[in-house]
A and B are shown apart, each in its own frame.
Chain A
Amino acid sequence: MKIDTKKRSVSLPESADMMMVDEVRQALVEMHGRSDKRATIDFSRTNVIDTSIVQLVASASKSFAGLKLTGLDGKPYAARLTALVEGAV
């Protein structure tokens, strides 16, 4: 996992799950403490995610005015996450 506080982005590893969900959450909370405008979660390296990550994305989308998800192309979970962030479901 890679956290870039300047770019306000978190790049998730190949398999993102409960093992690192709290670490990601804390990074996002820290970013949120500085500004609640935008944050990016990068899934370009991530093949597998679990429910805790989906929840985290849903939570982050409620906290940041502009939550951006990148690297979703071709990922099996892309539609679900996009729908969550867009509030379509």
Chain B
Amino acid sequence: MAAPGLDTFIQEANELLETIGRKVLDMDNVADDDDDELINDIFRTAHTLKGSSGIFELTGIQSTTHILESLLDALRHHEIEFDPVMVDVLLDGFDKVKEMVEVIEDGGDHTEVDVSDVIAQVQGLLPDKEEEEFAEIHIAERSQGDWLTNDARQAAFDAANDGDGSLYGFVMNLEDGIFNFGIDPLRLFDAVLSLGEVLYQEVDASGVPPLADLDPYNYHLQLTALVAIPTANHDQFIEEFDMVAELGEVWYFHSGGATTMDGSAALAVEASGEAIEGIKIPLGPVHEDFLDECAELLAEVDSLAGDAWRERLEGLAHSLPAMLSLTNPDALIHHHAGAMQRYIAQQENGSADGVKQAAVILRRFDEALRNQTAFAVSTTIQSTSTQGAAPATPPGGDDAASASVEGPAEHAIHAAAVDEGSQCLLNIAHTGEMFGKNAIYLPAIQERVGRIGRTMAVACAALGVRDAELQESIAKLFALDEDTAAALVGGALGNVHKALDSLVKVMAGAATVAPAVAAKVEQRGSADRRQGDRHDEKSATPTKRRQRKEAVFGQTIKIEQTHLDQLMEMVGEMVVAKNALPYFERELTTRFGVPEAAAELRERSAVIARISDDLQNLAMRMRMLPVSHAFSRFPRLVRDTARKLGKQFALEMTGDTVMLDKTMIEAIVDPLIHLVRNSMDHGLEDPEGREAAGKPAVGNIHLDAWQEGNHVHIRVGDDGKGIDPDKMRISGVSKGMITHEEAASMSDTEAQNLIFRAGFSSVEKITDLSGRGVGMDVVARSIANVKGVVKMTSKVGQGTDIVLTLPLSLAITKVLIIHQEGQVYGIPAQDVMETISLTPSQIGYSGGRPIIAHRNSVLPLFDLSACFAQQETTLNGVKGEMRVAVLQLGTMRVGLIVERIERDMDIMIKPLPPTLQDLPHITGGSILGDGRLLFILNTEALLDGGEA
């Protein structure tokens, strides 16, 4: 049975992968200044995906994402230069992850997806660090001499019976911020010891400072042991350390000589001893600005007089509460900032002599924040705490909440709150990852999530955003106890993550902060305004502007599509029921003789009709999605195809916010892919060909969408060589599709439209992209299936435009009601160009077929009854006026003669019962308001028969 919440994970993973794919493509285009932010953004999204997969123990996704993260990590830390090939590698890699998600969705084993190419490609880009990066764990094997450093260890080793070579000595030297990851090192230590017989253990507390200097949230121990581990537990010995991968140095010796463990462990290299990057948390704009202030102040330490310098220091103190309130309490920066705040508070009341000392502390603080390493300021704080200093503000909690309103300008609060939300997301992802590895237990999860909840409460209060859903999901997590099944804990954690994700999106879309905040911000002094201005400048980078523009999120809930379908169906039923009211109103007058009641009903009907229309529009809007859902894949497609064909393309997309019914979007994806591929493969020339034709080497492809009335138009255009009508004529004749005579009499447009005939291909070379002769006719048919129309215009040497015209929705259709032989029929209104009246004198004949001259062209006429009978139309003996519906069918325009035309009407088309489904002329049915059955005509099939 699938784990609870796995469906949600799959949905979320697909969304994350789509986001990653879009942003990776942006790596090619953004300016250098924005690269870091973009790469950080991709890294965070990938990290969230890795964390979520950890909750469900999806090791394949975890490890593959981790490998790709390594590349992103190296890029964001400028360890390697950006190379366009990295975009390909990342795209390929995340494609593999997507494949894994699909396998999971199908109930298969995702670890069977082969990612060896991805690993090799990433390794190739990180030549200097390949082994370190891809070791599954960061542990190193050393000689036993490194371990035997004192008599006690030597004695334990000598006393051990190591006949079978199972003796392991190890040293755990973990990062001082390890608690921030919810990891309890001694718990891990004991877990490793439990694997065998403990011969020696050492908890080295020499690095633990005395109480006054102790930061209890930093780790100071070094753990060492000698254990005889049975061969069967060797792999587990390594795996236990997996939970601290990248969070410190673990090394071991194995008395049996070369390790017998699997190859992944053997890949490990000795840790460099450098600061571990994994615990760094990206700084938000508030923090960055604060650090800039620190840097400026430090630069002026020698030039400013004591009082002036202290005044500037006090200025910094104004920024600290906001920074604290908007900082994730899990981040080291929070602790540092808290310490700094206490220190500055004391300096305000201290002597001028403290300035020099303040400079020293500030410099250390600045360095610590920039590097996010620990530093000890507490000695100074404690030693001055008796000088009547202002009480320290505890990190987080209510004080922090009130402090938030004293923060910098509102936009900075907004940006910082969103940034903190993102960091909390990252933190929860980390937590999920650790939980997936059994590396963290429920109380630690609850503690971390609780703190995140408090942080978000402060940030939400600053923005005036409700965080009830998050707090509710956190409360549910807190309701669990340690006996709860892991899957339920994972599910609850997943729900917290989901709620936080939604909240961050809402926060990103929140345009203003709470009025109270804005008012207090307004009251701030000029110094803070200057700082606010600086924030404004900084936050208005192109990337920020783009992100804010894109961040059009609202409060959303996810609804199963079947529910929407049902709603739409019921709305359709209501529309039909509403249509009955005018009939009843007429009956009241003509049959029952109560016109007063009819008038009353008319008034009521108008209200019901208005509500019904509103409801119908709302239900239709609920099914609408932006066309970007179809367009989003094309940047990747165009990029990949360009490489494959050795051509150069520039894709420009407009109107991707135009809305279309979800069913329609799903239906047009494949046709659009084919059209774009056709443009790239056949329409656009190679660079040499374009230059020879006097065009830029880069071919242009346009993908545009716009709405007109109840229709959406999507244009696929290129500035390629166009379609040569003469070649089309030759090809048509050679394939036996048309005769020489027909070819000669065809207009250029008609010849070009041969491309829509089944089996037609003017291209000699068949590629794997297009040109198999099954393309354009399938495109036309697919679009016709969703009641759409394809229209093409092409000019030789200038390019081709293909426009798809689609109804906004398939659910409710407008039809023209007609009468024929006592039966009521509906013609889809999109097929009807106009209705006209004819007299026999206007009718001429061509080849025995009736025609009329209409709007400067010849219009063939078909009689509906003759079409039903599959007979040719003859109008001999017809007298009086005839009613004609002028229909546009593909590229052809015809006149359909009917007995009576009533009016147009919105209806919901229902499929016919099985016994009637073989009727080719009828596509469906509906019930009219007076209870009559309405058949919907399939005009194309009808006229094919009529023509025959």
The residues of A with any CB-CB pair to B shorter than 8 Å are 15, 17-19, 21-22, 25, 28-29, 32, 50-52, 54-56, 58-60, 62-63, 80, 83-84, 89
Shortest CB–CB separation between residue B169 and chain A, in angstroms?
A: 16
CA distance A31 to B382 in the complex (A): 14
Name the residue of chain A whose CB is nearest to the CB of B394: A22
* A55 lies within 8 A of B211 (CB): no
Q: Do A89 and B203 form a contact, CB below 8 Å, given A18-B179, A18-B217, A55-B221?
A: yes
Q: List 12 A-B contacts (CB under 8 A).
A: A25-B211, A32-B212, A51-B185, A51-B186, A51-B187, A52-B179, A52-B216, A52-B217, A55-B205, A59-B208, A62-B211, A89-B201
* B481: interface (CB < 8 Å): no
Shortest CB–CB separation between residue B82 and chain A, in angstroms?
A: 40
Q: Do A63 and B186 form a contact, CB below 8 Å, given A17-B443, A55-B221?
A: no
* B210 lies within 8 A of A62 (CB): yes
Contacts of A18 in B (CB 8 A): 179, 216-217, 447
* A55 lies within 8 A of B217 (CB): no
Known: A25-B214, A51-B185, A59-B210. 4 other contacts (CB 8 A): A28-B211, A55-B216, A83-B203, A89-B204
Contacts of B382 in A (CB 8 A): 29
Chain B stretch 440-462: residues in CB contact (< 8 A) with chain A: 443, 447
* B309: interface (CB < 8 Å): no
* B216 lies within 8 A of A51 (CB): no
**Highest count of chain A CB atoms <10 Å: which of B210, B211, B214, B219:** B211
Per-residue contact bits, chain B 372-411, to A (CB 8 Å; 1 contact, 0 not): 0000000000100000000000000000000000000000
* B542: interface (CB < 8 Å): no
Contacts of A29 in B (CB 8 A): 211-212, 382
Shortest CB–CB separation between residue A18 and chain B, in angstroms?
A: 6
> Which of A51, A59, A83 contacts B214, CB < 8 Å?
A59
CA distance A38 to B100 in the complex (A): 61
Q: Do A89 and B205 form a contact, CB below 8 Å, given A55-B220, A63-B210, A63-B212?
A: yes
- 9 nearest CB pairs, A to B: A58-B205, A63-B211, A21-B216, A51-B186, A58-B208, A63-B210, A59-B214, A62-B210, A50-B184
CA distance A89 to B225 in the complex (A): 12
Per-residue contact bits, chain B 192-217, to A (CB 8 Å; 1 contact, 0 not): 00000000011111001111101011
Contacts of A50 in B (CB 8 A): 184, 186-187
CA distance A54 to B202 in the complex (A): 13
Shortest CB–CB separation between residue B891 and chain A, in angstroms?
A: 74
Contacts of A15 in B (CB 8 A): 443
* B211 lies within 8 A of A80 (CB): no
Shortest CB–CB separation between residue A71 and chain B, in angstroms?
A: 19
**Highest count of chain B CB atoms <10 Å: which of A54, A55, A56, A84:** A55
* A59 lies within 8 A of B202 (CB): no
**Highest count of chain B CB atoms <10 Å: which of A51, A58, A83:** A51
Shortest CB–CB separation between residue A35 and chain B, in angstroms?
A: 13
Name the residue of chain B whose CB is nearest to the CB of A23: B216
CA distance A52 to B186 in the complex (A): 9
Shortest CB–CB separation between residue A75 and chain B, in angstroms?
A: 14
The residues of B with any CB-CB pair to A shorter than 8 Å are 179, 184-187, 201-205, 208-212, 214, 216-217, 219-221, 382, 443, 447
Contacts of B205 in A (CB 8 A): 54-55, 58, 84, 89
Shortest CB–CB separation between residue B376 and chain A, in angstroms?
A: 13
* B203 lies within 8 A of A54 (CB): yes
Name the residue of chain B whose CB is nearest to the CB of A80: B203
> Which of A32, A51, A52, A83 contacts B211, CB < 8 Å?
A32
Shortest CB–CB separation between residue B514 and chain A, in angstroms?
A: 31
* B216 lies within 8 A of A25 (CB): yes
* A22 lies within 8 A of B217 (CB): yes
Shortest CB–CB separation between residue B596 and chain A, in angstroms?
A: 77
CA distance A58 to B210 in the complex (A): 8
Name the residue of chain B whose CB is nearest to the CB of A64: B211
> Which of B211, B217, B219, B447 contacts A59, CB < 8 Å?
B211
* B447 lies within 8 A of A19 (CB): yes
CA distance A43 to B221 in the complex (A): 21
> Which of B202, B208, B212, B443 contacts A55, CB < 8 Å?
B208
Name the residue of chain A whose CB is nearest to the CB of B188: A51
* B208 lies within 8 A of A51 (CB): no
CA distance A22 to B210 in the complex (A): 14
CA distance A72 to B538 in the complex (A): 57
CA distance A17 to B441 in the complex (A): 13
* A59 lies within 8 A of B209 (CB): yes
* A56 lies within 8 A of B216 (CB): yes
Contacts of A22 in B (CB 8 A): 216-217
CA distance A13 to B185 in the complex (A): 21
Shortest CB–CB separation between residue B324 and chain A, in angstroms?
A: 16
Shortest CB–CB separation between residue A77 and chain B, in angstroms?
A: 8
CA distance A58 to B212 in the complex (A): 13
Contacts of A63 in B (CB 8 A): 210-212
Shortest CB–CB separation between residue A15 and chain B, in angstroms?
A: 7
Q: Do A89 and B202 form a contact, CB below 8 Å, given A29-B211, A50-B187, A59-B209?
A: yes
CA distance A59 to B208 in the complex (A): 6
CA distance A17 to B186 in the complex (A): 12
CA distance A19 to B220 in the complex (A): 18
* B210 lies within 8 A of A51 (CB): no
Shortest CB–CB separation between residue A61 and chain B, in angstroms?
A: 8
CA distance A63 to B214 in the complex (A): 11
CA distance A59 to B219 in the complex (A): 12
Name the residue of chain B whose CB is nearest to the CB of A20: B216
CA distance A52 to B183 in the complex (A): 11
Contacts of A89 in B (CB 8 A): 201-205
CA distance A58 to B209 in the complex (A): 9
Shortest CB–CB separation between residue A9 and chain B, in angstroms?
A: 15
* A54 lies within 8 A of B186 (CB): yes
**Highest count of chain B CB atoms <10 Å: which of A21, A25, A89:** A89
* B212 lies within 8 A of A51 (CB): no
Shortest CB–CB separation between residue A29 and chain B, in angstroms?
A: 5
Shortest CB–CB separation between residue A48 and chain B, in angstroms?
A: 9
Contacts of B187 in A (CB 8 A): 50-51
* A51 lies within 8 A of B209 (CB): no
CA distance A29 to B215 in the complex (A): 12
Shortest CB–CB separation between residue A34 and chain B, in angstroms?
A: 13
CA distance A63 to B208 in the complex (A): 11
Name the residue of chain B whose CB is nearest to the CB of A15: B443
**Highest count of chain A CB atoms <10 Å: which of B187, B202, B203, B447:** B203
Shortest CB–CB separation between residue B240 and chain A, in angstroms?
A: 16
* B217 lies within 8 A of A54 (CB): no
CA distance A62 to B220 in the complex (A): 14
* A51 lies within 8 A of B217 (CB): no
Name the residue of chain B whose CB is nearest to the CB of A32: B211
Q: Do A54 and B221 form a contact, CB below 8 Å, given A18-B179, A18-B447, A29-B382?
A: yes
CA distance A59 to B202 in the complex (A): 16
CA distance A28 to B221 in the complex (A): 20
CA distance A32 to B216 in the complex (A): 16
Q: Do A51 and B219 form a contact, CB below 8 Å, given A25-B211, A58-B208, A63-B210?
A: yes
